[in-house]
Chains A and B, each alone.
Chain A
Amino acid sequence: MTDAPLVLGIETSCDETGVGIVHGTELLFDAIASSVDEHARFGGVVPEVASRAHLEAMVPTIERACREAGVALSDLDGISVTSGPGLAGALMVGVASAKALAVALGKPLYGVNHLASHVAVDIVEHGPLPEPTMAMLVSGGHSSLLLVPDVTHDIRSLGATIDDAAGEAFDKVARVLGLPFPGGPHIDRVASDGQITIDFPRGLSSRKDMERHRFDFSFSGLKTAVTRWVQSEQAAGREVPVADVAASFQEAVVDVLTRKAVLACTEYDVAALQVGGGVAANTRLRAMTQQRCDDAGILLRIPRPGLCTDNGAMVASLGAQMMIKGRPASDLSLPADSSLPVTDVQTGLPVHVDHDHAH
């Protein structure tokens, strides 16, 4: 493919209906419809509510993305879609819609991995990904360290959380401190007025853990430590210094994340680190990662917050990379796979194509 491919990407793995349109490495438009308000009364994302909302939003969101991007569907060179991991019923709406576009327009379809798409989105923000890149994905759903030699077909998982995702830890501690949901931005805001006065534990950082869980994360013990600390202050009749607790907690999370990410870059001799996911919006995470990357001579890339959370542009970006790199299109029989491993960057590959890397 000589010209930059024009690709429409569909993302429906959770409660956001995302449709993005990318021209090669250029983002044309990213349309999002969220059903988050409908879930509020249930106190969490209800899969059936999310799936119904995806069906209602799907065609209008495709329409809006095309209109805003100034693109006719017939101009597209390819379609890409998140085929996993995520909520099964929600994924199916996006996958079926993408297939219908492929059939109606006679265009190739690329079924892609949601986590790989989080990595690929930075291409529309900061240009081609250095190969290899180290990627740290931190959100309410993921906490992963990924070695990415080639985002279109070779991603290796170095570590992940063994209990809570990083974003969940922020939510839970925010609740303990009486801060609203979602916890991330509120802890970030409150912590900026606080001092790091409490030495909370750094999960999986002991010598023994660094052997067995070198690049894994754990945030459950930290959450418990914060809760106990707050409760003992309350029991002693002292006022809880919310800003200091928030700052100290945030420091513990960010310290472990950035230390392990930079260590992974050093040990695997990778010169670039990319951070994605909703937690990538945290100002302390950004500052400390920048500092430690500068010290270690590592290039840091973090997309703007709107591209760190789930969206269709990231799926379109990965689809465009697949076309640029001449990867084969997916078969139209590709399934939605709710527990797709991150090592499966593309789904629905013709059976004769073998993965040329060890899983």
Chain B
Amino acid sequence: MRILAMDTATSAITVAVHDGEAVLAARSTIDARRHTELLAPLILETLAAASTTADEVTHVAVGTGPGPFTGLRVGLVTAQTFAHARGISVHGVCSLDALAAAAAQQGHEGDLLVATDARRKEVYWARYRCAAGQSSALDEPTVTKPADLPDGVRTLPTAGRGAGLYPELLPHALAPGGVDLLDVDAGVLAGVAAAGITAGRKMPIEPLYLRRPDAVAAAPEPKSSLRPSPRQQQRDLRRAAEREARGGEATQ
């Protein structure tokens, strides 16, 4: 087994090659804006570091989010296309699961909150239970304002960037042994995928958007009989999207 794993749901662009037992090589770059530019070169670099050629890869694993849409899609379409081109299977892993697995591997015991940056003053989150190096999910991932999390959840030890972004609301950033657990590590994600593949689990690759598109970009309301044409609206929307892209996330 030779797994090529990648994730673009958090602030890291992260790639790993895993042989089913251990990580052969892993590379990460922290850059929440340049997934399109950096992911493919990082894959080449990681494959080379693992002395693995593209045609030796037997499985592809990818983080399915939740995460900011534009970056998330770059990882998903890259994984799907790579797998299709090589005629191999592609397996999805919830990106929050990979963060929880990392916490468990670092020796965390007991309940855990994973809370990542969802932009727009919200976090993606789920609770996990960690024991003996293993983690299991207690919730489906959700997106919400950190203040709206139940008190008993907010005060849990927290992995992901949520605690750093909202320290008053999520006070217990988890850093076992000085290792911060801010972003997904594709090496850990590859291990989760390897276990799933071995167990024959279904691992769908549908993106976990958790938000509807019309909530982020509703078309302007037509007014008079001379309302803007669909193409005018399209141009307006395109300009709005470009403005956003210059200032930050293109579509979120």
Interface residues of chain A, those whose CB is within 8 Å of chain B, are 14, 42-49, 51-52, 54-55, 58-59, 62-63, 73, 87-89, 92-93, 95-97, 99-106, 140-141, 164-165, 167-168, 171-172, 175-176, 181-183, 227, 332-336, 338-339
Q: Select one of B36, B54, B219 contacting A92, CB under 8 A.
A: B36
Q: Which residues of A contact B61 (CB under 8 A)?
A: none
Q: Which of B41, B214, B250 has the most CB of A within 10 A?
A: B250
Which label, helix, strand, loop or mixed, suits the secondary structure of the B interface?
A: helix
Interface residues of chain B, those whose CB is within 8 Å of chain A, are 34-41, 43-44, 54, 69-70, 73-74, 76-82, 84-86, 207, 209, 213-214, 216-219, 222, 226-227, 229-238, 241-242, 245, 250-252
Which label, helix, strand, loop or mixed, suits the secondary structure of the A interface?
A: helix
Contact check, B213 vs A97: say whether CB atoms are below 8 A apart: no
CA distance in complex: A43, B223 (Å) = 13
**B15 → A minimal CB distance (Å):** 11
CA distance in complex: A14, B70 (Å) = 15
Given A46-B213, A95-B36, A335-B37: A51 touches B85 (CB 8 Å cut-off): no
Given A140-B231, A171-B231: A104 touches B74 (CB 8 Å cut-off): no
Given A51-B69, A62-B84, A104-B54: A96 touches B231 (CB 8 Å cut-off): no
How many residue pairs at the A-B interface have CB separations less than 8 Å? 180
A and B contact pairs by CB, cutoff 8 A, 21 listed: A14-B234, A43-B222, A44-B219, A45-B238, A54-B77, A62-B81, A89-B241, A92-B70, A96-B77, A96-B78, A99-B40, A100-B77, A100-B78, A100-B79, A100-B85, A104-B81, A172-B229, A175-B227, A332-B44, A333-B40, A336-B36
Contact check, A89 vs B237: say whether CB atoms are below 8 A apart: no
CA distance in complex: A167, B230 (Å) = 11
Besides A49-B217, A99-B78, 14 new A-B residue pairs in contact (Cβ under 8 A), listed by A number: A46-B217, A47-B251, A48-B213, A48-B217, A49-B214, A54-B77, A58-B80, A73-B85, A97-B78, A141-B234, A175-B229, A176-B226, A332-B40, A333-B38
Q: Which residues of A contact B36 (CB under 8 A)?
A: 92, 95-96, 335-336
Instruction: Give the residue name and chain of the B residue nearest to A63 (CB).
Output: B84
CA distance in complex: A95, B77 (Å) = 10
Q: Which of A52, A104, A106, A338 has the most CB of B within 10 A?
A: A104
Q: Which residues of B contact A58 (CB under 8 A)?
A: 77, 80-81
Instruction: Give the residue name and chain of the A residue nearest to B236 (CB).
Output: A44
Contact check, B216 vs A48: say whether CB atoms are below 8 A apart: yes
Contact check, B77 vs A181: say whether CB atoms are below 8 A apart: no
CA distance in complex: A42, B70 (Å) = 20
Q: Select one of B82, B217, B222 contacting A100, CB under 8 A.
A: B82
